[in-house]
Each structure stands twice: as C-alpha cells, then as structure tokens.
Chains A and B, each alone.
Chain A
Amino acid sequence: EAQVTQNPRYLITVTGKKLTVTCSQNMNHEYMSWYRQDPGLGLRQIYYSMNVEVTDKGDVPEGYKVSRKEKRNFPLILESPSPNQTSLYFCASRKGTGELFFGEGSRLTVL
C-alpha cells in the first residue's frame, strides 16, 4: 500500500530534549516536505526536499533541522525543543509537481 509513515504519532517531551520525528514513503517520490499545523494558522511549511541531499527552508524553519540521505526518508529534528514547537506535524511527499500525499500526523507537546 502506498503510504507516508510518520513516527511517533504522539509525543510529550520537555524543553531542550532533542527529538527526531521520522518520515518514510514507499512511493519513490523525489519531493518530501514537513508542515506544522496550528489552530487558525492552517499548515505552514517548515522544510522541503526536492531530492536526495537537496533541502530548502520553508516559511517557518527556525528551530528545526532536516536531512535527506535516502530518497525514502526525511526526518525532522528538533535539537532543543521549546513550548512554541508544540504542534501537529505532517510529512508529505509527491512525484513531480502534482498532488501531495500526507502522513497521518505527529502530535508533539513540549512542556
């Protein structure tokens, strides 16, 4: 089944404790992206990657890192999480310039 898989789906952590949210897709898509969703703000793009070893900042990259060492994986790294990074995070992928396929989301709470 074609899918985008995110882990963990739910996480509660404390300020400053490094964490990684993994994202994997099995559709051989070149493009992958991370979004955060906050009430009233819709989805805001954090980082995206057009292909392996190619990453670019979205609209809200501060406090986040990404890497794209393999085509299927695009982890989101929070080196020192803060409470304002409490959010619902979505990973998405696509082939070419068409529709995005989304994961089910990762709900992160930073205390």
Chain B
Amino acid sequence: GQSLEQPSEVTAVEGAIVQINCTYQTSGFYGLSWYQQHDGGAPTFLSYNALDGLEETGRFSSFLSRSKGYSYLLLKELQMKDSASYFCAVGDDYKLSFGAGTTVTVRA
C-alpha cells in the first residue's frame, strides 16, 4: 500500500516562496506527481518526478529523493491565484494514491 504525508496548511504573502513537503512509503513506485486544486474545482496536473532531482515548470519546481522517500513542491513568486490545495500522489502501476493535501493561502 501507499502512505503519504504532507502538511495540512501553509500561509505566505504575495511574492514569497513556499515549499510543500511530501514524505511517502510505498510498496511500488513509478514516480511522484503534484496536483493543484482550487476550491470547488478539479485537480489539475502540475509536475511529475520519476528520477531523483529537480524539475522546473515556470514558477513551480518539484524535487524528488527516492532513497529518502521525500519530495517537495516549490512555489516561487507567489500570486493570489496560487491559493489552492496541493496534493502529492504516488503512482503504482496506473493507480495514483493521493496525499491529504496542503492548503496554501496567499495573503496580500
């Protein structure tokens, strides 16, 4: 099975940098994904790491350490529209198991 842990809430001001950590334990592992979900909306794909290291997509970056069972999502130059929930998810075959999500609140 899979077990993922991430903080429940993070608050930061506009323009700041936020790091959301995710630790996982899994019996099978193909990679780790990050999804964003705005209140009342659907989850949307942000990034994916299959190998150790950093992946960058615009203002967002994701890091993975397979040996440590650890990942983080870095949100740079925070904007109000970044206020949302962020989920890490591990893939085992074609099944994604999602963490409980981290609610990011961006303040002016």
A and B associate in one complex: no
